[in-house]
Structure 1
């Protein structure tokens, strides 16, 4: 198995772990699933770095391991501990079956789109590229369909993982500073969203996003 083939195979695992995040009813299992996905993403960076002789991607892998596999899930787990079982009973706006159908459609559309790509860096990793693009829509689906605010945070995390992978696939020689900027933005965004979610819980006693649809003066 070549490194490029390994990248595409690991890309398939990203879809599996994304569905684990989307379908998890509680924040803790979703956090562990996200950590697992991020670890798969790290392995993809390593495989892609070996395939393209890109030392930058090895640095990306190390940074992603610290921020995505360790720090971000730890922040969400700490938030989940602070709010207890709040939000666990909030059913998503659509059924799990419909969620699976939407994800399948999103992946299918992205596979069709990348067939027209002719960039040299993308020729051998088109399946992984399609999956990386699909993650933007999977994350958006998670944000739109979930009522639990913490689960909506995971939607953002899925979108960020997808954009991170897209950048690695299309520009494997990009400077480490670019990756640091991406990782830093995501890190602080998750912290801010976690603080906001906790403040919402303290104020309303709930994590239901539907209770925030109206401003009350």
Structure 2
């Protein structure tokens, strides 16, 4: 049973990294949102499995929060925002998809080497989860850096936060009050981001962050 528990936890955490790569590959907003919803579902499954093997029922709350908010509510809301704003569905990238994927593989390799060395005396399950979690965080940052569309950068930010949740649950969980506060923080941040997107669209007639650079250049 311990080996099976380790293998399943390893599979779920590794699947989260794989889905992060799927987000890097997407060049359409709707497809990116669908992959993010899948990302949240895999995270919920991983957290629920951690709750089972750690005998930590409060982690089920985290799994439900991830499933309801990140897999359903936020993707649906972003779909509606895209439709209402008439945002261009294609995602403009700062670098090519091929170079982005290579950079992502390099970041995952760096995460594995770094975390497995730093956590040499930790529990093997926690070591693996922390290594995968750092990979998810760095891949989320890469999504934010390489995408010029504000909506895709929001998705990158939320996928980064998924990595932090994976790290916290893999390291023997976190207090319930922290999970609830994180959920409310995500909700408030999403509301602020929604208002921000509407304001950008209203002011610049686009959500491409490159327009902001051009605007600043015109004002000089």
Q: Normalising to structure 2: TM-score of the pair?
A: 0.90
Q: Does 1:177 align with 2:177?
A: yes
User: How big is each residue's C-alpha offset from its partner over 1:14-36, in whole Å with a ceiling of 9 and x where there is no partner?
Assistant: 12211222222222111111111
Note the residue ranges of structure 1 that are not aligned, 5 or more in a row: none
Q: What secondary structure does 1:207 align onto? A: coil
User: How big is each residue's C-alpha offset from its partner over 1:5-59, in whole Å with a ceiling of 9 and x where there is no partner?
Assistant: 1111111211221122222222211111111110000100111111111111112
- For the 8 Å contact 1:143–1:153, the answer to whether it is kept is yes
Which residue number in structure 1 is paired with residue 4 of structure 2? Answer: 2
Which residue number in structure 1 is paired with residue 55 of structure 2? Answer: 53
Which residue number in structure 2 is paired with residue 43 of structure 1? Answer: 45
- For the 8 Å contact 1:139–1:155, the answer to whether it is kept is yes
- For the 8 Å contact 1:87–1:148, the answer to whether it is kept is no
Q: What secondary structure does 1:98 align onto? A: helix
Residues 4 and 145 of structure 1, relative CA distance in 2, 3 Å threshold: same
Q: Does 1:157 align with 2:158?
A: yes
Over aligned residue pairs, what C-alpha RMSD do you find? 1.8
Which residue number in structure 2 is paired with residue 92 of structure 1? Answer: 93
Q: Does 1:33 align with 2:40?
A: no
Distance (Å, rounded) in 2 between the aligned partners of 1:163 and 1:88: 29
Which residue number in structure 2 is paired with residue 147 of structure 1? Answer: 148
Which residue number in structure 1 is paired with residue 17 of structure 2? Answer: 15
Note the residue ranges of structure 2 that are not aligned, 5 or more in a row: none
Matches within 5 A, 1:72-91: 72-84=74-86, 86-91=87-92
Which residue number in structure 1 is paired with residue 196 of structure 2? Answer: 196
Displacement of 1:118 after TM fit?
4.0
Which residue number in structure 2 is paired with residue 129 of structure 1? Answer: 130
Distance (Å, rounded) in 2 between the aligned partners of 1:35 and 1:147: 21
